[in-house]
Amino acid sequence: MTEPVGTFCLVLHSHLPWLAHHGRWPVGEEWLYQSWAHAYLPVVDVLERLAAEGRRDLLTLGVTPVLAAQLDDPHCLRGMHDWLGGWLLRAHGAAPRLPGLAAREHRAATRALATFERRWRHGGSPVLRGLADSGAVELLGGPATHPFAPLLDDLVRAFALDAGLTDHTRRLGRRPAGIWAPECGYAPGMESGYAAAGVERFLVDGPALHGDTALLRPVGGSGVLVAGRDLDVTYRVWSPRAGYPGHPDYRDFHTFDHASGLKPARVTGRHVPPHEKRPYDPDRAAAAVQRDATDFAGVVRERLTTVRARLGRPGLTVAAFDTELFGHWWHEGPAWLEAVLRALPDAGVQVTTLAGAVDAGLVGAPVELPASSWGLGKDWHVWDGEPVADLVSRGAAVQQDLLTLRRTAGAARDPLRDAMAEQALLALSSDWAFMVSHDSAADYARARAHGHADRVTTLARLLAAGDRQAARAAVAGWEPGPFGHVDARRIGAPGGGVRARSASRAA
């Protein structure tokens, strides 16, 4: 067998904010159930099918703690089962008007319902454990509620990371060596906090490495490795402007049959209005999947050939995406994913995980990183710009309340303080600023951010006044949260990064 031309690592980042008990439609639990049905179920199905063939080290899979909590939550499990049943009924209802679409959706919903009842009825953690234990994937961890870490005080950042790593260990049986840094957010010095927490590797976007993503690199003298997302390869699939999912033959995400909520059309053309889009054709879409998988394998091989010529040895390319792209946003995404994972070895490309790349010695010289993210402009403005100034201000106040809580904490656990800490973590989720900056359900996002922050403020005031009876009454009126293990005494526990708030923009 000839030596592979180089190594490819696919990293999938699975994340949704805490949606349970916080609305259903158009934003809320519906978002979770759609992503679960159309992305998480079929992507796991692909990975389990390939693992059953004896394939190992297929990809690196990040599942944020706040999403993992929802995949295990009894309320969400019941809601998901109901949603799948509703999908089946919607397919039945569409049969008189759209018989072909209804038949396809009936088959898909029936398969999803059977898979969920057979594999997921005890939650997502057993499924993820099985994938990891089989060697099919490497699992990544991360901070508990996906905060934009560069904007956090060092102690708060360390607390959020500790809570997330603890949650991952409890659910999945092992402490992760790597994390997905939320939004690929980085400020100089954060690697020290990662090292203190036992994190061995994390990801940034390619521009933070000036596009030199061909090897993992130690950050400064920390010993923590950084992997850079190769945008030349990643953007072939999906970018702010183009990518495979926009091809005319794929199913259109935005066009609905409003009576059933089903999606009957193919993309047809970029500027074609919804009422003029052509009917979806599964055979055309299947041909497009094979065409684009072959194209992508060629792109990766060409990239690695160039890397090998430059380095004088085989190198690495890392493509990273939101998991929700595959199936939820891009209907054919799971099929494409399977086709690519089969095609790459045939193209002479070694496929492995980030851990596998480290084991293979694909590590270069140390690097100093600038402040950065994977957001628009690759700076921080999505999370600290003028449109979200109110959220930044409330976030700072929430952090101050947490730090005050730390200074007044006793030796014993206090469920009221723990509840306040959990609400603070929820208030600091990066999703709220992202949604506001992108004008995507901005009112919902603002309400969620300020709502959790208001709870922190209320509880901080009552605890400071010694009114524990009123504090208990307030907490009793809240819906259940994701993290029963959150321990406010861990704020300021050993380990943590350096203060990074002053570096407000990437270079």
Taking the C-alpha atoms of residue 101 and residue 104, their distance in angstroms, rounded to an integer, is 5
Name every residue whose Cβ is closer than 8 Å to that of residue 250 and which is 6 or more positions away in sequence. 244, 266, 267, 285, 288, 330, 331, 332
User: Catalytic annotation on 322?
Assistant: yes
| 344 close to 297: Cβ distance less than 8 angstroms | yes
Backbone angles phi, psi at 34, to 5 degrees: -60, -45
Catalytic residue among 295, 322, 390, 454: 322
- Measured CA to CA, the distance from residue 314 to residue 350 in angstroms comes to 10
CA distance 493 to 464: 22
- Beta-carbon count within 10 A of 149 CB: 28
Q: How far is CA 473 from CA 209, 395, 468, in A?
A: 51, 25, 8
Q: Nearest Cα to 145, choosing from 133, 130, 129, 160?
A: 160
Let me know the angle formed at the C-alpha of 54 by 52 and 60, rounded to the nearest 5 degrees: 90
State yes or no: is 324 an active-site residue. no
Question: What would the two tokens of residue 104 be?
Answer: 């396809």
Residue 367 corresponds to which tokens in the numbers above?
């690097």
* C-alpha–C-alpha distance, residues 226 and 459, integer Å: 39
- DSSP letters for 211-247: T--SSBEEBTTS--EEEEE-HHHHHHHB-SS-BGGGS
Q: Which of 72, 105, 167, 183 is catalytic?
A: 183
Tokens of 60: 């690196």
419 by Cβ neighbours in 10 Å (0-12 / 13-18 / 19+) ranks as buried
How distant, in Å, are the alpha carbons of 170, 239, 294, 337, 482 from that of 14? 18, 18, 25, 15, 16
Alpha-carbon Rg for the chain in angstroms: 23
State the catalytic residues.
183, 322
